[in-house]
C-alpha cells in the first residue's frame, strides 16, 4: 500500500465538506419529541418481524428495554460428522432511548451461552440538516440489504453463504457514520451513507456447518494446519488507514403495490496484517507475519417487493452480487521440507445470492435462497448453498421457522441440515436498521 498525503487530505476534506454541506447551521431549536434517528420504514427484504408494535414501547423517561431469544433444534451432516443439536443461538438484551431532542442511543448485548458480546452501543445525532443523521460508537456496518440486520432477525434462517465468507456473519464496527436521504421526484428516495471505522469485528453464531476462513479484526483470516492466523489492525494508524464503508441506494414505487430498490456498497480495509504462530516439521515454534495488506469488498443489490392492497399478502425477491479484492486469506504451508511459510491469497473472488419469499397472510411465509461463492483460496473452489424455509408467526412477538439447507461443495463432502427455529421477543425489540 502506498498512501499519499494527497489521499489523506482528500479523505479528510471529504468528511469535513460532507458535514458542512449537511447544514450545521440549521440546528433545530425546538422541543422536539424523542425520536429515534434511523428509519424503521420497512423496505423489501427487511425483517418481517418489524410489522408493528414489536419495535416500540412508550417510555417516558427510562430507556425501552427488551429481550430476544433465538434457539434452534437441528440435525446436520457436514460430511465429517452428523447428529442433532439443541442450541441457544442468541439471547439478546437491547435498550434504546432518547437522550435529548437531538441525541438518541441504543445498546445490544448478546450471548450464546458461551460468550457475551457487545454488538451495539451507539449514539445518534439528528441535529444536522433535513433527513440526515450522524452516529458514532459500535454498530453494524451498512453494506447491502442484509449486513445491518442481526442474524436472528433475518428473513432467512442464516446469513447468505457469500456474505458469511466475504464479510462475516455479523460485522459490527467501531467508528462513525453519516447518513442522508433525498427525494427524487415524488416516488423515489435516494440514500447514501459514509462510515469510517477504527475497528471492525466479525463474529457469528447459529452456524449449522463448520466453516473456514473467518477471523477477528479486519474480517479476514483462516486457519490451516498447525497455526492460528490472526488478522490484526494496528490500534493507532494514519487517518487514511481507517476502514471505510459507503453505500448508495435508491428505492422507488413500482406500480400501485410494488417497491423496487437498487444499491451499491463498498467496504475497504486499507491496512492490516496477518500474524500467526505455528510450528515447523522439526517442531520448532515459528512466528509468521505479513503486513501492509489491504482488501476491498464491493456489492450490488436489487430487491423487489410486492404487497396485496390490504397488505396481508406479498412477494419479495432480491439478489446481491459480491466481489472481493486484495489480500483475502492466508494459510500456513510447507514445501515438503522442514520450512513452513505464510502464503497469502492475493487476488479477487466473487459470489452472489438470490432469494424469493412469499407471504400468504400475516402469519405465514415461505421462501427459498441460493448462494454461490468462490472460496478465498488459490484454486477458488465454489460452494453452492440452497435454503428453503417456512416461517410462522403465532403472534407478532413469536416466530417459528422450519428450514432445510443443502451445501453443494466443489471440494469436500456436501453438507445438509434441517432446523426448527423458535424466536421470541419480550418488550421492545428495535435495532436502528435503515433502508
Partner 1 sequence: MQRLLPTLLAALAALVAPGLGAPRAAAGSGEKLQVVTTIPDLADIVRRVGGDEVEVKAIARGFENLHTVRLRPSHMVMVSRAKLFVQVGLALEHGWVPGLLESARNSRIMADGPLNVAEDWPYLIEVPLTLDRSTGVDIHPLGNPHVNLDPRFGAFAAQRIRDRLKELRPEAAAAIDANCAAYEKEIEQRGQRWKRVAALVKGRKVVQYHKEFSYLCLANGLEMVGALEPQPGVPPTPRHLAQLAKQMRAEGVQVVVHGPWTPGRIAEDAAARGGARAVELPVMAQRDNGETWLDFMDRLHDGLLAAWDLELPPEEEDSSR
Q: Where does this chain touch partner 1 (CB under 8 A) — which range of 146-154, 161-169, 223-231, 311-319?
A: 311-319
Q: Mapping DSSP to helix (H, G, I), strand (E, B) and coil, where does residue 16 land?
A: helix
Note the Cα 35 to chain centre separation in Å. 24
- By CB under 8 A, the count of residues binding partner 1 is 79
Contact flag: residue 251 with partner 1 (CB under 8 A)? yes
Contact flag: residue 337 with partner 1 (CB under 8 A)? no
Contact flag: residue 297 with partner 1 (CB under 8 A)? no
Closer CB to partner 1, 169 or 423, in the complex = 423
Note the Cα 251 to chain centre separation in Å. 20
The answer to whether 322 and 343 have CB atoms below 8 angstroms apart is no
Closer CB to partner 1, 3 or 203, in the complex = 3
Specify the pairing of strand 243-254 against strand 258-279: antiparallel
Using alpha carbons, select from 181, 193, 204 the residue that is nearest to residue 142.
193
Q: Where does this chain touch partner 1 (CB under 8 A) — which range of 106-114, 169-177, 251-259, 332-340?
A: 251-259
Residue 189 makes CB contacts below 8 A (sequence gap 6+) with 181, 182, 183, 250, 251, 252, 435
For 330-342, give one letter per residue: b (16+ CB within 10 A) or e: bbbeeeeeeebeb
Closer CB to partner 1, 113 or 182, in the complex = 182
Of the candidate residues 81, 115, 285, 310, the single one contacting partner 1 (CB under 8 A): 310
Least separation in angstroms between CB 285 and partner 1:
36
Backbone angles phi, psi at 62, to 5 degrees: -80, 150
Of the candidate residues 75, 266, 288, 321, the single one contacting partner 1 (CB under 8 A): 266
Of the candidate residues 180, 220, 401, 431, the single one contacting partner 1 (CB under 8 A): 180
Q: Which of residues 385-424 bind partner 1 (CB under 8 A)?
A: 394-397
Q: Which of residues 8-37 bind partner 1 (CB under 8 A)?
A: 10-11, 13-14, 17-18, 21-23, 26, 28, 30-33, 35-37
Q: Which of residues 54-113 bind partner 1 (CB under 8 A)?
A: 55-56, 58
Closer CB to partner 1, 100 or 312, in the complex = 312
Contact flag: residue 239 with partner 1 (CB under 8 A)? no
Q: Which of residues 133-152 bind partner 1 (CB under 8 A)?
A: 133
The answer to whether 357 and 364 have CB atoms below 8 angstroms apart is no
Of the candidate residues 363, 390, 410, 411, the single one contacting partner 1 (CB under 8 A): 363
Note the Cα 101 to chain centre separation in Å. 29
The three-state DSSP-derived secondary structure of 357-394 is: EEECCCCEEEEEEEEEEECCCCCCCEEEEEEEEEEEEE
Amino acid at each position: 500500500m502506498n498512501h499519499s498525503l494527497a489521499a489523506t487530505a482528500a479523505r479528510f476534506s471529504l468528511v469535513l465538506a460532507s458535514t458542512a454541506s449537511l447544514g450545521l447551521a440549521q440546528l433545530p431549536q425546538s422541543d422536539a419529541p424523542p425520536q429515534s434517528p434511523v428509519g424503521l420504514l420497512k423496505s423489501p427484504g427487511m425483517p418481517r418481524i418489524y410489522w408493528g408494535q414489536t419495535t416500540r414501547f412508550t417510555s417516558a423517561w427510562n430507556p425501552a428495554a427488551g429481550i430476544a431469544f433465538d434457539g434452534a433444534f437441528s440435525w446436520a451432516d457436514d460430511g465429517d460428522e452428523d447428529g442433532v443439536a439443541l442450541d441457544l443461538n442468541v439471547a439478546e438484551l437491547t435498550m434504546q432511548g432518547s437522550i435529548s431532542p437531538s441525541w438518541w442511543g441504543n445498546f445490544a448485548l448478546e450471548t450464546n451461552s458461551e460468550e457475551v458480546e457487545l454488538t451495539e452501543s451507539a449514539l445518534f445525532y439528528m441535529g444536522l440538516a433535513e433527513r440526515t443523521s450522524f452516529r458514532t460508537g459500535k454498530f453494524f456496518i451498512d453494506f447491502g440489504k442484509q449486513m445491518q440486520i442481526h442474524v436472528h432477525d433475518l428473513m432467512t434462517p442464516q446469513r447468505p453463504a457469500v456474505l458469511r465468507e466475504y464479510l462475516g456473519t455479523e460485522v459490527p464496527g467501531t467508528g462513525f457514520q453519516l447518513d442522508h436521504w433525498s427525494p427524487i421526484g415524488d416516488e423515489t428516495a435516494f440514500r447514501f451513507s459514509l462510515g469510517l471505522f477504527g475497528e471492525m469485528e466479525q463474529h457469528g453464531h447459529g452456524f449449522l456447518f463448520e466453516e473456514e476462513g473467518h477471523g477477528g479484526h479486519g474480517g479476514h483470516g483462516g486457519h490451516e494446519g498447525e497455526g492460528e492466523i490472526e488478522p490484526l489492525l494496528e490500534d493507532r494508524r494514519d487517518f487514511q488507514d481507517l476502514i471505510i464503508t459507503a453505500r448508495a441506494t435508491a428505492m422507488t414505487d413500482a406500480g400501485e403495490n410494488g417497491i423496487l430498490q437498487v444499491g451499491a456498497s463498498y467496504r475497504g480495509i486499507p491496512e492490516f496484517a496477518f500474524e500467526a504462530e505455528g510450528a515447523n516439521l522439526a517442531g520448532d515454534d515459528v512466528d509468521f507475519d505479513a503486513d501492509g495488506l489491504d482488501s476491498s469488498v464491493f456489492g450490488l443489490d436489487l430487491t423487489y417487493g410486492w404487497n396485496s392492497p390490504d397488505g396481508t399478502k406479498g412477494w419479495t425477491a432480491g439478489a446481491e452480487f459480491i466481489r472481493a479484492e486484495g489480500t483475502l486469506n492466508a494459510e500456513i504451508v510447507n514445501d515438503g521440507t522442514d520450512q513452513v511459510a505464510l502464503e497469502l491469497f492475493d487476488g479477487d473472488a466473487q459470489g452472489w445470492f438470490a432469494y424469493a419469499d412469499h407471504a400468504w397472510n400475516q402469519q405465514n411465509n415461505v421462501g427459498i435462497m441460493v448462494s454461490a461463492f468462490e472460496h478465498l483460496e488459490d484454486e477458488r473452489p465454489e460452494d453452492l448453498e440452497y435454503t428453503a424455509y417456512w416461517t410462522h408467526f403465532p403472534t407478532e412477538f413469536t416466530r417459528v421457522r422450519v428450514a432445510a439447507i443443502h451445501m453443494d461443495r466443489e471440494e469436500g463432502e456436501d453438507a445438509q441440515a434441517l432446523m426448527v427455529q423458535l424466536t421470541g421477543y419480550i418488550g421492545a425489540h428495535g435495532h436502528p436498521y435503515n433502508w
